[in-house]
């Protein structure tokens, strides 16, 4: 049985194709791009401080021995560093796609040729605004298209018990078994960094004090423990990207806990986050139910583009959980350079590109683009000398071409086939 850590494919091994950001071949013309992006770096989505929280254990300060750094924004909101890094991504998109011929290199594009769309969540709204600012500063563009229920469909029969069973089937084991096996090392390191939980956190999670992350990991099927491990470990990426001092990131304990330099230590414990998100949102059962409303607007924008209508660049601001559901529907496979297989770091995006080869039919290419850990920290401009991390995304449902290519007609058909109309919101 392949383990979760082994499920990342070496996408470029033995393949003969251009780099993931270069044209697929000589004479290929880019018709347009639809970007589905995660929002930028945010504060944790639960309360950091425990005052006023109905269940005192459901706050970050209770999940460890020490108080967490103040994120300076409300829970779940985009941080200042998150906005700045998304603006850097916007500047990259402008440079890169202007070179591919989608926009003029300096002048403002026709307003009808670009679209920026978000749901109504603060962090996605501000991320889309930051990308707009970075791409077209000083240009008069259409207002950001805000659709509060953009990615929300009906429950369409979703049952938590079936979702948990699907997660165990995808992982090949319960989270408790995984954390005793291949994830024992990052779990132990994270437990060392966090230290013992406060008594109220132990009570909130149904165990007696004293307790720690390891206690939750061993409880029942381990879903609760893996979720807490994911939630806490990802915060170290946010802290690193916010340029906190090394001794403030994980209270300075990560290198000693892992025996690795700080960036590598952050990524070691983030194996827990990558695994948790994948097994929670990518199994086919929950992927179809949660991902159908996400895939639908992306497919609609691509269909307009293929027909020669609509914007040449459409940007959807979204969430990692929803992007993973879409990925599960289409059997997408990717390993971001410097990150874990199937991980979706802040600001990372799937770029659905429609290319016309010199002969033959219109072709979709799927690329994953993200700032590296050090680029998130530095905030430096992305250019030819400092490009973002990028990798082709194999579309398993289309035959898993290592260059991320799929004939457009085939992709459109399979996207329809894997979607469940019952999970779409009713048309207005």
User: From CA 310, how far away is CA 315, in angstroms rounded?
Assistant: 13
DSSP run (H or E) holding 391:
strand 389-392
Which domains are present in the chain?
4-42+74-154+282-423 (3.40.50.1240), 64-71+156-281 (no CATH)
HSE-CB of 176 using CA atoms within 13 angstroms:
10
- Show Cβ contacts of residue 25 under 8 Å, excluding neighbours closer than 6 positions: 17, 18, 357
pLDDT in tens, the chain (428 residues): 334 443 332 223 223 345 899 999 999 999 999 999 999 999 999 999 998 887 778 899 999 999 999 889 999 999 999 999 999 999 999 999 999 999 998 899 999 999 999 999 999 999 999 999 999 999 999 899 999 999 999 999 999 999 999 999 999 999 999 999 999 999 999 999 999 999 999 999 999 999 999 999 999 999 999 999 999 999 999 999 999 999 999 999 999 999 999 999 999 999 999 999 999 999 999 999 999 999 999 999 999 999 999 999 999 999 999 999 999 999 999 999 999 999 999 999 999 999 999 999 999 999 999 999 999 999 999 988 899 999 999 999 999 999 999 999 999 999 999 999 999 988 76
Residue 196's Cβ-count burial label (10 Å; 0-12, 13-18, 19+) is middle
CB 399 within 8 A of CB 406: yes
Q: Please provide the size of the chain in residues.
A: 428
SS3 355: strand
CB 242 within 8 A of CB 252: no
Q: What is the pTM of this model?
A: 0.94
∠ CA 330-100-114, nearest 5°, is: 70
CB 365 within 8 A of CB 392: yes
Residue in this structure with the two tokens 């791409």, named with its chain if needed: 135
- What angle, rounded to 10 degrees, do the helices at 223-241 and 80-99 form? 80
User: From CA 150, how far away is CA 350, in angstroms rounded?
Assistant: 18
């Amino acid at each position: 049985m392949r383990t979760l850590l082994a499920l990342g494919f070496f996408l470029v091994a033995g393949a003969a194709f251009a780099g993931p950001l270069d044209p697929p071949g000589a004479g290929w013309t880019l018709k347009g791009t639809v970007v589905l992006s995660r929002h930028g770096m945010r504060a944790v989505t639960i309360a950091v401080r425990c005052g006023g929280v109905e269940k005192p254990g459901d706050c970050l300060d209770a999940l460890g021995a020490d108080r967490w750094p103040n994120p300076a924004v409300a829970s779940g909101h985009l941080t200042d560093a998150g906005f700045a890094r998304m603006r850097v991504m916007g500047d990259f998109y402008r440079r890169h796609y202007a070179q591919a011929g989608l926009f003029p290199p300096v002048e403002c594009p026709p307003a009808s040729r670009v679209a920026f769309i978000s749901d109504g969540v603060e962090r996605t709204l501000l991320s889309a605004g930051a990308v707009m600012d970075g791409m077209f500063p000083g240009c008069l563009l259409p207002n950001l298209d805000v659709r509060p229920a953009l990615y929300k469909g009906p429950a369409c029969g979703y049952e938590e018990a079936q979702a948990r069973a699907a997660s165990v089937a995808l992982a090949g084991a319960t989270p408790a078994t995984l954390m005793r096996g291949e994830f024992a090392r990052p779990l132990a390191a994270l437990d060392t960094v966090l230290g013992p939980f406060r008594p109220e956190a132990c009570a909130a999670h149904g165990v007696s004090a004293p307790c720690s992350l390891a206690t939750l990991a061993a409880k029942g099927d381990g879903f609760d423990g893996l979720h807490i491990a994911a939630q806490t470990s990802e915060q170290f990426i946010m802290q690193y990207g916010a340029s906190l001092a090394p001794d403030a990131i994980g209270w300075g304990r990560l290198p000693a806990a892992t025996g690795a330099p700080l960036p590598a230590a952050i990524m070691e414990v983030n194996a827990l986050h990558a695994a948790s998100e994948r097994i929670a949102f990518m199994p086919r059962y929950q992927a179809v139910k949660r991902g159908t409303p996400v895939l639908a607007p992306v497919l609609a924008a691509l269909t307009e583009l293929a027909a020669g209508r609509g914007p040449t660049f459409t940007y959807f601001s979204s969430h990692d959980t929803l992007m993973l559901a879409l990925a599960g529907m289409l059997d997408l496979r990717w390993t971001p350079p410097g990150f874990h297989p199937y991980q979706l770091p802040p600001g990372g995006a799937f770029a659905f590109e429609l290319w016309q080869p010199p002969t033959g039919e219109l072709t979709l290419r799927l690329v994953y683009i993200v700032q590296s850990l050090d680029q998130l920290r530095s905030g430096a401009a992305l250019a030819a000398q400092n490009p973002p991390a990028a990798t082709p995304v194999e579309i398993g449902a289309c035959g898993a071409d290592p260059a991320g290519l799929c004939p457009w007609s085939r992709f459109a058909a399979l996207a329809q086939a894997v979607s469940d109309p019952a999970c779409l919101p009713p048309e207005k």
